[in-house]
Amino acid sequence: MRKHIKHIILLVVTLNVSVLVAQTREKDTIKTGVIDVVKPYTPSISDAFKVKETPNLNDEVTTNKKDIKYNIFSIPVASTFTPAKGKAAVVEQKAPEKVFDNYATLGVGTYTTILGEVYVSHAISRTESIGGYISHHSSQGGIENLVFDDNFSDSKLNINYGSRLRDLSWNVEAGFGYKTYNWYGVPESQIDGAVLDQIAVGHSFFDAHLGSDISFEDTYINSAKVFFRRFGDNQGSAENRFTAQIKADIPINDEELATVLKFDYLGGAFDRSYGVDEELKYGNFFVGLSSTYQMKQDDLTVDLGASVYYLNDTEGSDNKVYLYPNVTATYRLVNDILIAYGGIQGDLIQNSYYGFANENPFVSPTLYIQPTDQLYNAFVGLKGKVSSNMSYNVSGRYISDRNKALFRNNDVTANSVQDYSYGNSFGIVYDDIKTYSVGGEINVDVNRNFTLGIKAEYFDYASDTQAEAWNLPDIKGSLFLDYQISDKWYTGANLFYIGERKDQLYVVDPIINSVPVTVTLDSYFDANVHLGYHVNEQFSVFAKGNNLGNQGYQRWQNFPVQSIQFLAGATYKFDF
């Protein structure tokens, strides 16, 4: 207890000494006094003051921050770690198919059909190349219920040379063709007389041509080409045709006019006309100039132009000038899904013996040939893409042709002395024809292994002097299909439908030569398929089937075609 009292007394003494020392160091300046409160303090707004957002500090303790500089000393450290090299992901990719520049095809089939073709191409240098092809297609015939030969052949030979330079490229080609057909379509009423007269129904054609074209880069003249063809037959007919064309962009102020200059010469002769034994000559030349100005604004594109032709009939000593519109427009209604288009155009069409014989090889060598004046071809339509692999096109047309060429069966002449005057050949008649048509097509391209195309068109004709628009069909339809089944197998199909046509059948009368009767040719359907197999990258085999409907239809009156046909062959591709 005493010990605790001692500690307490010592603590009190220590505190008293500390207070006394503090008082001696600093005297108290507060004086005692009396404060009288008169009234309570009432603050006012003037007594208030705004505190500064950023006050100034005058405190001696406040110091400025010193700038600190950092220095990093890099010290190399030895390491034995070696990172693994990265590897690209492996993607399985099919090796590119080798493309060969040359091939040869040979096939044989029913009706003793032979099909052969050889195509070669060789690069002389980096800028020069030469090539050519030879083809042959023939059949010994054998159509049922025919009295006369129906064999045919078609052979072609072509060579070409091309050169591609920095500012231009040009090509030159030459070729020869030879075809044989027969006027075997003798009507039943004339068969006995034709057999008695021992007519020779063979008819052969030949042609030789030479042409060249040139294209320019970065010049106002885009391209130019010339072409000459000599065509004739074994009946003494001969025809020469020379054409030249230049395409250029003519600058006018800051715009350009797409301009085409044409020259076309045609001249020929037949040994006789159909009813008179005298030489039949024909010939003309024309010069044409077409110019078009294109305007674009957003989704609208308009081509405004016109064409003018000067025609000189060298045999009739007649000159004419023709003027045609050339206006077209397209408008994207919904991007590429729905595109509207339309226009009106016209042209001077040069008809020729070569063109008629290729369209109908059973024509007689007694044709009167003149050009067709197509006054206008007005059209409207809608086209677009339903999806990325399907497109469509629907259109309507109204065409007015003056002197349109029509094939019509030749009449039977009294005391027939020509092999083609027994109603077994066709002539040409001209008439003013107005054509109304509406059609559509769908194209499907699912991938590179499958493509499909369907097209159909309906026609209606109005003739002027002729009773009908002879041999013009009222409906045309077609379907094309190609399918790559696998890497080795492929197949395809072509289907055609042609509607009814009108023609004349001549009935012999004892009083007059013959009486024409209008007949209707039945519509027909032709289905063709093919199947092939790639044995390797160079060798392939194939098989074809034609006219699978087994219809001996008549494309031309009294001229039935071969029924169902089969052909098999092989193709070999190679390089030199």
pLDDT at 27 over 50: no
* pLDDT at residue number 81: 56
∠ Cα 387 391 397 (to 5°): 145
**Residue 405 contacts residue 357 (beta carbons within 8 Å):** no
- Are 359 and 397 within 8 A, CB to CB? no
Return d(Cα 132, Cα 120) in angstroms, integer. Answer: 6
Distance, in Å, from the CA atom of 521 to the CA atom of 484, rounded to the nearest integer, reads 38
Sign of CA dihedral 186, 187, 190, 195: positive
Closest CA to 214 of 204, 226, 206: 226
Name residue 64's amino acid: N
Does the pLDDT of residue 465 top 70, yes or no? yes
Mean of the pLDDT values across residues 488-492? 94
Summarised one tens digit per residue, pLDDT across range 316-336 is 888 999 999 999 999 999 988
Nearest one of 468, 471, 466 to 431, comparing CA atoms: 466
Q: Which two tokens stand for residue 416?
A: 């027939």
Cross-strand partners of 376: 400
Are 325 and 345 spatial neighbours (Cβ–Cβ below 8 Å)?
Answer: yes
Which residues lie closer than 8 Å to 548 by C-beta, 6 or more apart? 527, 528, 529, 564
Tell me which of 197 and 432 has the higher pLDDT. Answer: 432
Chain position carrying tokens 């045309």: 476
SS3 18: helix
More confident residue, 12 or 404: 404
Collapsing DSSP states into helix, strand and coil, what is residue 207? strand
Sign of CA dihedral 268, 270, 276, 277: positive
The 10s digit of each residue's pLDDT in 494-550 is 999 999 999 998 776 555 566 788 999 999 999 999 999 999 999 999 999 999 988
Neighbouring residues of 180: CB distance < 8 A, sequence distance ≥ 6: 151, 152, 153, 202, 203, 204, 205
For residue 296, how many other CB atoms are within 10 A of its CB? 10
Q: State residue 466's pLDDT score.
A: 95
Contact 435, 401 (CB under 8 A): yes
What span, in angstroms and rounded, lies between the C-alpha atoms of 487 and 286? 53
Average pLDDT, the chain: 86
Does 34 or 191 have the greater pLDDT score?
Answer: 191
Q: Which residue has the tokens 């990172």?
A: 83
**Which ranges in 186-304 belong to alpha helices (H)?**
188-196
Check if the beta carbon of residue 258 is closer than 8 Å to that of residue 249. yes
Q: Which residues contact residue 287 at a Cβ distance below 8 angstroms, ignoring those fewer than 6 apart?
A: 261, 262, 263, 309, 310
Distance CA 390, CA 394 (A): 14
Q: Where are the domains of the chain?
A: 104-574
CA pair distance 211, 131, nearest whole angstrom:
15
Residue 278 exposure: Cα atoms within 13 Å on the Cβ side: 1
Q: Note the pLDDT of residue 1.
A: 45
- The number of helix segments (H) and strand segments (E) in the chain equals 3, 26
C-alpha span between 271 and 331 (Å, rounded): 54
Q: Mean per-residue pLDDT for 124-146?
A: 93
pLDDT number for residue 19: 41
> How sure is the predictor about 20, in pLDDT bands with cuts at 50, 70 and 90?
very low
Residues forming beta bridges with residue 502, ordered by sequence position: 520
What confidence tier does 98 reach under pLDDT thresholds 50, 70, 90? confident
Predicted TM-score (pTM) of the model is 0.81
Tell me which of 3.90.1150.10, 3.20.190.10, 2.40.170.20, 3.40.50.300 is the CATH number of domain 104-574.
2.40.170.20
pLDDT of 576: 82
Instruction: Please state, in angstroms and rounded to a whole number, the distance separating the CA atoms of residues 137 and 114.
Output: 6
Nearest to 450 by CA among 412, 480, 423: 480
Which two structure tokens, joined as six digits, stand for 239? 């025809």
- For the cut 90, the answer to whether the pLDDT of residue 99 exceeds it is no
Higher pLDDT, 172 or 315: 172
Q: What's the pLDDT tens digit per position in 178-199?
A: 999 999 999 988 898 899 989 9
| pLDDT over threshold 80, residue 21 | no
Output DSSP code: residue 126: S
Say what the pLDDT of residue 36 is. 56
pLDDT at 315: 85
Query: For residue 17, what are its two tokens?
Result: 């000494």
The C-alpha atoms of residue 292 and residue 371 are separated, in whole angstroms, by 24
Q: What is the mean pLDDT of residues 192-211?
A: 93
Taking only the tens place, the pLDDT of each residue in 55-94 is 555 555 555 555 666 565 556 655 565 666 666 666 666 6
Neighbours of 354 (CB within 10 A): 20
Distance CA 401, CA 349 (A): 10
User: Which residue's entry shows tokens 């350009």?
Assistant: 256
Question: Backbone phi, then psi, for 43, in 5-degree steps?
Answer: -70, 155
Q: DSSP string spanning 158-191?
A: EEEEEEE-SSEEEEEEEEEEEEEEE-----HHHH
pLDDT tens digits, 210-264 = 999 999 988 889 999 999 999 999 999 999 999 999 999 988 887 889 999 999 9
In the DSSP assignment, the letter for residue 20 is H
Amino acid 122 reads: H
What pLDDT score was predicted for residue 34? 54
Question: Which residue in this structure is represented by tokens 């005298």?
Answer: 278
In the predicted structure, residue 13 carries a pLDDT above the cut 90: no
Res 25 pLDDT > 80:
no
